A and B are shown apart, each in its own frame.
Chain A
Amino acid sequence: MKIPGAGLAKGLTVTMRTMTKRSVTQQYPEVKPELPPRSRGVIALLEENCTVCMLCARECPDWCIYIDSHKETIPAPPGGRERQRNVLDRFDIDFSLCMYCGICIEVCPFDALFWSPEFEYSELDIRDLTHGKDRLGEWMATVPAPPAHDGHGVRPKEVDAALKALDKPARERPARKPAPGPESEDAG
């Protein structure tokens, strides 16, 4: 049998029970949120690793990465020849356009781009949301260490190959010159 007013009582108990629990509100400016380790806050640039291959700028779905560069000739070392390398002049990411898809970071072949969990970079002027390479470089300090390798995951192929090589009897290994130790260096 249904007791009349049971529904009303149920409503009251729900609100009362909620009142006795801790509220879920976070006092944001005073208490910083605990973000998960791989949060997508802002993109950091490690300038030394960038080769101006332009992959990131080309893959960017909303074209918010702007790259300028010039070629520089490195004078020939003795007995060698001159080499050319790309020098980065400008690397801007317009965070007012960026949709935080992370494709630029995925495609970068030289590990020059990283996710940083920092998110407090709002601006009063939309033009200030375009971060230059210096500002992008400053974010590098906030990039967390890469997560540890999953112990239960598949081992990298390189490790497998090395272990396999170790298992072979020594004589079957291709003859190799022993690596020069510290003593041999002194002797030389």
Chain B
Amino acid sequence: MTDVLEVALRVALVLGVFLVLPLLVGQTEHKAMAHMQSRLGPMYAGGFHGWAQLVADGVKFAQKEDIVPTAADRVVFKLAPAVALIPYLIALVAIPLGPGVVAQDLDVGVFFVLAVMAVGVLGPLMGGWASANKFSLLGALRTAAQLMAYELPFILAAASVAMAAGTLSLVGIVEAWEPWWLIWQLPAAVVFFVAGLAELQRPPFDMPVADSEIIFGAFTEYTGLRFALFLLAEYAGIVVLCALTTVLFLGGWHGPYDDVLGWLWTLLKTMVLAFVVIWLRVSYPRLREDQLQRLAWQGLVPIALLQLALTGVVVVART
């Protein structure tokens, strides 16, 4: 009986984090982006500086009509938002928050999280294909091209740190982490973060949803709650990517008083990274499709491979 309770508690905690953190990131994006553009952002919802803006947005989305285009592949169309969102929820299960605070310590944590995150990208692909809309299809194809290009450096960078730690467990990697890895694994960290941004289709890598040329890419035909789920998936993706970068490259819970405040350090590093995601979005214009591909194949992949070689040499030299 206690086992069931414990599992239920862990699941509830993960679900809570999953529901709260993306909203927090979303609100931060509203406000930080506004101030970076010399605006105020939402100011009315909830009374104090528009803190309830996203709640109001959610209510609005829930009220909207749920439309499925006549020519659409109904089942795939309806399934796509779930496919986009749920993988990030599952990925959170394996990410440690503090020493001993992890929903499930998997031996193959890195592999599991990367595999599950790759599934998440299938959501826009399915939605775009099933929408029976040219813009959606274009968006989906761009998503596919981007996924192909950036999955490789993403995984190579993660492999580098797994090699350095000698384990695939996320908890094991954090335990093995030492501050000088910040320098040693810096190229991998940058490659991982940038490639992750590209996989999430966040600006400046938002060619697949480029609203000024293909409406909203794969999400063009979506309305109401299904559209909201896609948006939520984007923010959940930011949380997962930032948490993963924290755990793999920034030492997770390591910090002063980490035996008590470990969870706080992880959250803090994650939120700082989430802010960087927003910051990058505001600062840079969208990359063109060919620039995207060139950055992946001529920039990130060679750097990731060199990093892998460097990691290998150092690991062999130290043993």
CB contact between B34 and one of A14, A21, A23 (< 8 Å): that residue:
A23
What are 15 inter-chain pairs, A to B, with CB distance below 8 A?
Answer: A8-B284, A11-B284, A14-B283, A15-B279, A15-B282, A16-B36, A16-B279, A18-B37, A19-B35, A19-B36, A23-B38, A23-B39, A23-B40, A24-B38, A24-B39
State the interface size on chain B (CB cutoff 8 A). 14
Judged by a CB distance under 8 angstroms, whether A122 is at the interface is no
Judged by a CB distance under 8 angstroms, whether B12 is at the interface is no
Q: Which chain B residue has the least Cβ–Cβ distance from A30?
A: B43
Q: How far is the CA of A8 from the CA of B287 in the complex (A)?
A: 13
User: How near does chain B come to A10, taking the closest CB pair, in angstroms?
Assistant: 9
Asked if A18 and B279 make an inter-chain contact with CB atoms under 8 angstroms apart, the answer reads no
Q: Which chain B residue has the least Cβ–Cβ distance from A11?
A: B283
User: How near does chain A come to B185, taking the closest CB pair, in angstroms?
Assistant: 19
Q: Which residues of A contact B43 (CB under 8 A)?
A: 27
Interface bits A14-42 vs B (CB < 8 Å: 1, else 0): 11101101011101000000000000000
Question: A15-B279, A27-B43 are contacts. A21–B38 as well, Cβ < 8 Å?
Answer: yes
Q: How far is the CA of A15 from the CA of B43 in the complex (A)?
A: 21
Interface residues of B in 248-292 (CB under 8 A from A): 279-280, 282-284
Judged by a CB distance under 8 angstroms, whether A12 is at the interface is yes
Interface bits A39-54 vs B (CB < 8 Å: 1, else 0): 0000000000000000
Q: Which residues of B contact A25 (CB under 8 A)?
A: 38-40
Asked if B38 and A12 make an inter-chain contact with CB atoms under 8 angstroms apart, the answer reads no
Asked if A27 and B40 make an inter-chain contact with CB atoms under 8 angstroms apart, the answer reads yes
State the interface size on chain A (CB cutoff 8 A). 13
Q: Which residues of B contact A24 (CB under 8 A)?
A: 38-39
Judged by a CB distance under 8 angstroms, whether B225 is at the interface is no
Chain A residues packing against B (C-beta within 8 Å): 8, 11-12, 14-16, 18-19, 21, 23-25, 27
Q: Which residues of B contact A18 (CB under 8 A)?
A: 35-38
Contact residues of B: prevailing secondary structure: helix
User: How near does chain B come to A27, taking the closest CB pair, in angstroms?
Assistant: 7
Q: How far is the CA of A18 from the CA of B282 in the complex (A)?
A: 11
Q: Which residues of A contact B282 (CB under 8 A)?
A: 15
Chain B residues packing against A (C-beta within 8 Å): 32, 34-40, 43, 279-280, 282-284
Asked if B32 and A19 make an inter-chain contact with CB atoms under 8 angstroms apart, the answer reads yes
Q: Which chain B residue has the least Cβ–Cβ distance from A7?
A: B284
Asked if B283 and A15 make an inter-chain contact with CB atoms under 8 angstroms apart, the answer reads yes
Asked if B38 and A15 make an inter-chain contact with CB atoms under 8 angstroms apart, the answer reads no
Q: How far is the CA of A18 from the CA of B280 in the complex (A)?
A: 14
Asked if B40 and A12 make an inter-chain contact with CB atoms under 8 angstroms apart, the answer reads no
Q: How far is the CA of A124 from the CA of B180 in the complex (A)?
A: 67
Q: Which chain A residue has the least Cβ–Cβ distance from B34?
A: A23
Asked if A23 and B35 make an inter-chain contact with CB atoms under 8 angstroms apart, the answer reads yes
User: How near does chain B come to A31, taking the closest CB pair, in angstroms?
Assistant: 11
User: How near does chain B come to A150, taking the closest CB pair, in angstroms?
Assistant: 36
Q: Report, nearest first, the 4 A-B pairs whose CB atoms are least far apart.
A: A15-B36, A11-B283, A25-B40, A19-B35
Q: Which residues of A contact B32 (CB under 8 A)?
A: 19
Q: Which residues of B contact A12 (CB under 8 A)?
A: 279-280, 283
Q: Which residues of B contact A8 (CB under 8 A)?
A: 284
Q: How far is the CA of A23 from the CA of B280 in the complex (A)?
A: 20
Chain A CB within 10 Å — which of B39, B279, B283 has the most?
A: B283
Q: How far is the CA of A16 from the CA of B35 in the complex (A)?
A: 9
Chain B CB within 10 Å — which of A14, A15, A23, A25 has the most?
A: A15
Q: How far is the CA of A25 from the CA of B38 in the complex (A)?
A: 7
Q: Which residues of A contact B284 (CB under 8 A)?
A: 8, 11
Q: Which chain A residue has the least Cβ–Cβ distance from B280?
A: A12
User: How near does chain A come to B133, taking the closest CB pair, in angstroms?
Assistant: 34
Q: Which chain B residue has the least Cβ–Cβ distance from A21?
A: B38
User: How near does chain B come to A7, taking the closest CB pair, in angstroms?
Assistant: 10
User: How near does chain A come to B164, taking the closest CB pair, in angstroms?
Assistant: 25
Q: Which residues of B contact A15 (CB under 8 A)?
A: 36, 279, 282-283
User: How near does chain B come to A5, taking the closest CB pair, in angstroms?
Assistant: 11
Q: How far is the CA of A76 from the CA of B36 in the complex (A)?
A: 75
Q: Which residues of A contact B37 (CB under 8 A)?
A: 18
Q: How far is the CA of A114 from the CA of B14 in the complex (A)?
A: 67
Known: A12-B283, A24-B38. 19 other contacts (CB 8 A): A12-B280, A14-B283, A15-B283, A16-B279, A18-B35, A18-B36, A18-B37, A19-B32, A19-B35, A19-B36, A21-B38, A23-B34, A23-B35, A23-B38, A25-B38, A25-B39, A25-B40, A27-B40, A27-B43
Q: Which residues of A contact B279 (CB under 8 A)?
A: 12, 15-16
